Structure 1
Amino acid sequence: MEGMGQKRRPLVVMASAQAASRGGANPLAELTDRVKTLEAGLRAWLAKQPTHVEAAVATAVGAVQGGALGGLMGTLAPDGGSPFPVPQPPPGADPNALASFKQAQALAGGPLVQARNFAVMTGANAGISCVMRRIRGVEDVQGSMAAAFGSGALFSIVSGMGSPNPVANAITTGVAFAVFQGGFFMIGQKFSQPPSEDIYYSRGRNMLKQLGLQNYEKNFKKGLLTDQTLPLLNDSALRDVKIPPGPRLLILDHIQRFGTVVQISETLS
């Protein structure tokens, strides 16, 4: 009996090793799922917080991302962050020439300057967008343009582009930012509009877009979770269409807080 037991041990070890190798065959997919779950959990936590808390977190995250991007651009670009040499202002130049020189300097700063400018710009944009979304209840072109105006104005002030009239230049820069971002937002909406045969999923699509879960629209379609089924959704139904726990909590919390999804979607549209 002991001999038989000793002979079976290598088989058990080999079987366990094979199972472990199968479980760790795709660590990248497991890491991606964990990141998505953590992101969904963070979104669920932020959705329950006051507006100022969510806005502060969004501003901080946007500032960190923008600072990293600006620092990278300033490091990779030659001549201290500028792709072109910046001429020195002539002696006795008029205020308009000095203002143009200030603008060139703002765009030609080194890594730290670029990191600061981009951090202010992206942080302000993310924070204002969050506040507008909370106030209006939907992410639309008006909120996008308001966020762009605020970020453009702050970028103008922080970067020193406003000499000799900082207020007028901040307003002009903010308007330019708002026009460009509003145009890009409308173009993006036009190209991202779903085909006409998806009308049975329009309210569900609006709900997922509001929650930042657009990637799970295909799961709703595979499970035939049309707009008529939205008030009946439960954890089991969402699990059957392979939606992870974090997004399931967000969807069910949305339905619980707003009653039926049909009513809230009609209000937003």
Structure 2
Amino acid sequence: MEGKQGAVVMTPSSAPPANPVAQMQARFKELETGFRAWLTKQPTAVEAAIVTATSAAQGAFIGALMGSLTSDPSSAIPTPPPNAPGLNPQAMASLKQAQAFAGGPLVQARNFAVMTGTNAGISCAMKRVRGVEDMQSSMVAAFGSGAMFSLVSGMGGPNQAINAVTSGLFFALVQGGLFKVGQKFSQPPADDVLYSRTKGMLTNLGLQNYEKNFKKGLLNDATLPLLTDSALRDVNIPPGPRLLILDHIQRNTDTRKR
């Protein structure tokens, strides 16, 4: 419709339609944030079980996809009978190890599901118990991942216990090396060192968009135990995220001690 001075006024019916892709992304982000907030309120065992299951499902999908895109080299390797005369135990162990890393979609899906699920579950439990995510926790999770992979895949010789420990140690050492390399090449800026725990808390709650609000108000790691609703309101954080942040701090004994 036209105003008194000839200006064209946009009516609701003439407004541009909303982008359905953007709406779907916003809805998915909202559901993800709500799920993460709900998950942090669950007992450690429940959170670890859910994280293990979801990570195992993702790993199985990736493994099946990789197995379907590559040929199965294990099918071309003849498997001799276990009681064949003159069979070298070391050769048989090497054959099983090669078959464990090869295989079709089902084998790869199983292997990736076990490795990713175990790693994610142990990492989640260690983080809840210790309150930090460091190299020690990462190496413990990698050890469990390697041990479970060895047991499920049947890799190695007849002594499964020793093979599981050996594989776990190998995975842990590799993960420790990767963790050190990652720390060396991804050192945060000097200012971000003061906000490392704050950033981790906001990421776990799905509220990383409010990191700039914390920095603007100089609310760093040292002020986490002192945070109040009025302090969060002063840096323009909405009521819902304020409740999640204060609830997280109240339940996190390590933060309150600091």
Distance change >3 Å, CA 202–CA 133, structure 1 → 2 = closer
1:170 has 2:135 as partner? no
**Which residue, 54, 57, 60 being the options, matches 2:50?**
57
Task: Give, in whole Å, the separation in 2 of the partners of 1:45 and 1:191.
Answer: 34
1:88 has 2:81 as partner? no
Which structure 2 residues correspond to residues 64-79 of structure 1 after superposition, within 5 A?
A: 64-78=57-71
Contact kept? 2:229, 2:246, Cα under 8 Å: yes
Task: Give, in whole Å, the separation in 2 of the partners of 1:58 and 1:106.
Answer: 25
How far does residue 75 in structure 1 lie from its aligned partner after superposition? 0.2
Indicate the percent of aligned positions where both proteins have the same amino acid: 60
RMSD of aligned residue pairs (Cα, Å):
3.3
Q: What is the count of residue pairs matched by the alignment?
A: 247
**Which residue, 100, 105, 114 being the options, matches 1:106?**
100
Contact kept? 2:131, 2:254, Cα under 8 Å: no
Distance change >3 Å, CA 221–CA 30, structure 1 → 2 = farther
The alignment's TM-score, normalised by the length of structure 2, stands at: 0.80
How far does residue 107 in structure 1 lie from its aligned partner after superposition? 1.4
How far does residue 144 in structure 1 lie from its aligned partner after superposition? 0.8
Task: Give, in whole Å, the separation in 2 of the partners of 1:103 and 1:238.
Answer: 58
Match of 1:8 in 2: none
Greater shift in the superposed pair: 46-55 or 190-199: 190-199
Match of 1:97 in 2: 91
Contact kept? 1:86, 1:104, Cα under 8 Å: no
Distance change >3 Å, CA 107–CA 243, structure 1 → 2 = farther
Match of 1:159 in 2: 153
Task: Give, in whole Å, the separation in 1 of the partners of 2:239 and 2:30.
Answer: 7
Contact kept? 1:144, 1:181, Cα under 8 Å: yes
Contact kept? 2:213, 2:235, Cα under 8 Å: no
What SS does the corresponding residue of 1:109 show, helix, strand or coil?
A: coil
How far does residue 167 in structure 1 lie from its aligned partner after superposition? 1.6
Task: Give, in whole Å, the separation in 1 of the partners of 2:208 and 2:89.
Answer: 50
Distance change >3 Å, CA 160–CA 179, structure 1 → 2 = same
Match of 1:30 in 2: 23
Distance change >3 Å, CA 199–CA 61, structure 1 → 2 = closer
Which structure 2 residues correspond to residues 216-231 of structure 1 after superposition, within 5 A?
A: 216-222=210-216, 224-227=218-221, 230=224, 231=226
Q: Deviations over 1:204-224 (max 9, x none)?
A: 335435656556434433454
Task: Give, in whole Å, the separation in 2 of the partners of 1:240 and 1:18.
Answer: 36
Contact kept? 2:32, 2:206, Cα under 8 Å: no
Which structure 2 residues correspond to residues 242-253 of structure 1 after superposition, within 5 A?
A: 245=240, 247-253=241-247
Distance change >3 Å, CA 111–CA 46, structure 1 → 2 = same
The unaligned stretches of length 5 or more in structure 1 are 5-10
Q: Deviations over 1:77-111 (max 9, x none)?
A: 02x2x4x8854357633010001000111112110
1:132 has 2:126 as partner? yes
The alignment's TM-score, normalised by the length of structure 1, stands at: 0.77
How far does residue 55 in structure 1 lie from its aligned partner after superposition? 0.9
- One-letter identity of the residue aligned with 1:88: P
How far does residue 54 in structure 1 lie from its aligned partner after superposition? 0.6
User: Which runs of at least 4 in structure 1 moved beyond 6 Å after TM superposition?
Assistant: none
Task: Give, in whole Å, the separation in 2 of the partners of 1:238 and 1:144.
Answer: 36
Q: Deviations over 1:244-265 (max 9, x none)?
A: 95x544322123334895x45x
Distance change >3 Å, CA 136–CA 234, structure 1 → 2 = same
Contact kept? 2:93, 2:157, Cα under 8 Å: yes
How far does residue 146 in structure 1 lie from its aligned partner after superposition? 0.7
How far does residue 57 in structure 1 lie from its aligned partner after superposition? 0.1
Task: Give, in whole Å, the separation in 2 of the partners of 1:203 and 1:161.
Answer: 40
The unaligned stretches of length 5 or more in structure 2 are 2-7
Match of 1:117 in 2: 111
Task: Give, in whole Å, the separation in 1 of the partners of 2:45 and 2:37.
Answer: 16
Task: Give, in whole Å, the separation in 1 of the partners of 2:247 and 2:52.
Answer: 24
Task: Give, in whole Å, the separation in 1 of the partners of 2:128 and 2:254.
Answer: 19
